[in-house]
Amino acid sequence: MSAPGGGEFFEQFIEDYFAECEEHLSTARRVLLELERLPAADKASALARQELSRSLHTLKGLSGMVGVTSAEHVAHVLEDSLRGIERAGTRFDAGLVDTLLSGVDLLERCVAARRAGGAAPDATTDASAVLASLEELAHSNRSPAGGAVGPAATGGERRAVTYRFAFTPSPELMQRGINVETIRGRLKELGTLLDGRARVVAGGVAFDFSVAVPAGREPDPGWRDDGLEWSAIAPVAPVAPADDSSEGPRRAAPAAASVVRVELGRLDAVMRLVGDLVSTRARLDDALRHSNGRASRSAWDVVEEANALMERQLRQLREGVMRIRLVQVGEVFERLRFAVRDAARESGKQVSVELEGQGTEIDKLVVDRILEPLLHLVRNAVSHGIETAEERLAKGKPAEGRLLLRAAPSGDRILVHVEDDGAGIDVAEVETQARARGLLAPGEALDAASLLDVLCAPGFSTHGGVDRTSGRGVGMDAVRAAVRALAGELTLQTVPGRGTSFAIELPLTLMIIDAVIVEVGRQYYAVPQLVLREILQIETSSVVTFESNEVIHYRGGVLPLLSLSPLFGLPDDRRPSRYVLVIGTAAEPMGILVDRLHGLREIVVQPVVDPLVSVAGIAGATQLGDGKVSLILDSAAVLRLAAMQRQRGEPHVPRRGTAALPQSS
């Protein structure tokens, strides 16, 4: 029996694989950070260790199925090292957690390499060093170091009460969507799930769960209607309080079984269709208004009513599609927590992170692209904002600095704050530097807005060298550029001695397309790459004026040319055009004259589907990284406008091939 490689067959699941890897990698990181805090004897620590090893096990299994053997191997070594740690009873101190985290990083790189289609990183010395230290752990028999059981959990312990729950499933309950997993989800929210087992009862099965419920919480009495019974047993040993950061997003997340993963591109396609539908309806609306009175009153009412209903439904459809794209910002916050920990360790500072509003939802695309700027801001806050413990104590502040990450919705935008209680920005120092570099005119004072401008000037730094923690080659200029590229806005507040707060305001949802940026009469336009047939470089002399229209020779015929400025009623102060963008169909192409090309870029489009705010020929606006605003050309509308001009006969645009032209040499 010749077996085709499983890896090839399962290649079709590669996207699911990447998505599930992401989940497990972030679980592994979160759990490792938890383990560093939890006393080893705590039940929560044992549960966390199980969760970690399960995630690694799943990563190993899935990697094997899709043939990513490097990831399979690293996951296997990590699993082994966990078993070694368990056997030796080693404490999860910072050093051990670091080693394991570097293993998780390596694993992520293996997956990322497969995703990028490149070679696995195992050949690098770095990778073999990581693997060697993990393998050492796997074979360690080191007995627990002195005081190995670890410190008491860091404050805030609460007494908990153990409850025993019994759940009896039935087909009726299942039909209502209540099964053992929903029940388990509820119990996990309520407290720490200690164990769960099945027991056979007359005519079926029942499940028993023990849950340590923090004081002050109680099961919902309504659960008794859902096949659940319970009783409190006794108070148990203190359980570390549920950590807000990790519980928050998990609590709000829907049961995993009811989640479907969709490629973003497919949603974009649906979104575009919705946009098209909205403009079609606008045309229908127009047509209806013109035909008013040609039908009987009663027949007309029905049409009007249906039309109004359709408008409402379209709006709902658009909102519905947008909602599908939303994810919780909590996952990004988790990664930031991780970066703060690293930065604090490197700079020898004590920093606690507080998260607020992790449940706030934002477009998946925005979330992915806001991570880098946020990373930079939190690293900055730790390395430059927050003072050392000694400095803080001398100022009468608590030794531990505080970093607050906060997200909140604000209309159809969301606000993300990165707030520290550090020294604040030294405005006088920034001013001196800015003057020295000529960024500030003499006599000009530094206010809140210009302070940010100076900080975001390319390469500006009040610190001598680029240090590893906050530098990494990008400065505040890169942060602002990234925020602007997302159609967002960055603002800053700083109080000397009290701290600094950066606020990023972002659109809730957007789309990204590839577009060629062109310049016509000092105005920038973005032309979606998809609609471009060709770009021609022309000599001014090759443009021929024919019946007061400009044309050029093109593929054995003529190509009518269109100037954008008059089309949009802008002053036609254009310089000699050097390029022609060919759009339209092969049978009926149309050229747009442009002065300069500024290359292909990814641009962010905030879908404007409300016909009331749209201008014919313009699909929207986008801000380029350097802050310039560019209008996005709606090529279909431009072609329609040109056709309308042609119908009105002013100025007449000849159709290709319909005119005989004197041959120019």
Give the footprint of another protein on this chain (CB under 8 A). 1-7, 9-10, 12-13, 16-17, 19-20, 50-51, 54, 57-58, 60-62, 64-65, 67, 169-171, 174, 179-181, 184, 193, 195-198, 200, 204-205, 207, 256-257
Residues with Cβ within 8 Å of 318's Cβ and at least 6 positions away in sequence, in order, are 274, 278, 609
Strands 413-420 and 499-507: antiparallel
Q: How far apart are CA 558 and CA 348, in angstroms?
A: 71
Q: Shortest distance, CB of residue 454 to another protein, whole angstroms?
A: 49
Residue placing its CB nearer to another protein in the complex, 85 or 183: 183
Task: Choose between 12 and 542: whose C-beta lies nearer to another protein.
Answer: 12
Phi-psi label, residue 180: left if phi above 0, alpha if psi -120 to 50, beta otherwise: alpha
**433 within 8 A of 463, measured Cβ to Cβ:** no
- Nearest-approach distance from CB 62 to another protein, in angstroms: 6
Residue nearer to another protein on the CB measure, 58 or 279: 58
What minimum distance in Å lies between the beta carbon of 256 and another protein? 7
Sheet harboring 523-528: ordered strands across? 596-605, 511-520, 523-528, 629-633, 618-623
Q: Which of 230/579 has CB closer to another protein?
A: 230
Strands 489-495 and 499-507: antiparallel
Min CB(83)–another protein separation in Å: 12
* Closer residue to another protein in complex, CB, 15/276: 15
In angstroms, the CA 475 to CA 357 distance is: 27
Say which amino acid occupies 184.
R
- Closest CB to another protein among residues 59, 440: 59
Structure tokens at 83: 């078993």
Q: Are 590 and 552 in contact (CB under 8 A)?
A: no
Ramachandran region, residue 266 (left: φ > 0; alpha: ψ -120 to 50; beta: rest): alpha
Quote the CA–CA distance of 127 and 73 in Å, as a whole number.
Answer: 12
**Least Å from the CB of residue 121 to another protein:** 21
262 versus 615: smaller Cβ distance to another protein:
262
Q: Is 177 left (phi over 0), alpha (psi -120 to 50) or beta?
A: left
Beta carbon nearer to another protein, 175 or 658: 175
Compare residues 331 and 634 and give the one whose CB is closer to another protein: 331
Q: How far is the CB of 184 from another protein (least distance, A)?
A: 7
Length of the chain: 665
- Compute the least distance from the CB of residue 52 to another protein, in Å: 12
Q: Residue 280's Cα: distance from chain center in Å?
A: 31
Q: Are strands 557-562 and 589-594 parallel, antiparallel or unpaired?
A: parallel
Distance CA 479, CA 370 (A): 9
CB of 231 to another protein, least distance (A): 20
Q: Output the six-digit token pair for 632.
A: 């996005």
Least separation in angstroms between residue 460's CB and another protein is 46
For another protein, which is the closer residue by CB, 103 or 499? Answer: 103
Q: Work out how close the CB of 168 gets to another protein at its nearest, in angstroms, rounded to a whole number.
A: 10
DSSP class of residue 235 equals E
Query: Residue 205 belongs to what H/E stretch?
Result: strand 204-214
Rounded CA separation 27/50 (Å): 12
Q: Which residues contact 406 (CB under 8 A, 6 or more apart)?
A: 355, 356, 357, 415, 416, 417, 419
DSSP labels for 605-631?
E-----GGG-BTTEEEEEE-TTS-EEE
Tell me the closest approach of the beta carbon of residue 233 to another protein, in angstroms.
19
Q: Which is nearer to another protein, 199 or 323 (by Cβ)?
A: 199
Q: Considering the complex, state which of residue 239 and residue 631 has its C-beta at the smaller distance from another protein.
A: 239
| Least distance (Å) between residue 67 CB and another protein | 8
3-state secondary structure of 659: coil
- 634: its two tokens: 């709606």
- Helices 94-115 and 69-88 pack at an angle, to 10 degrees, of 170
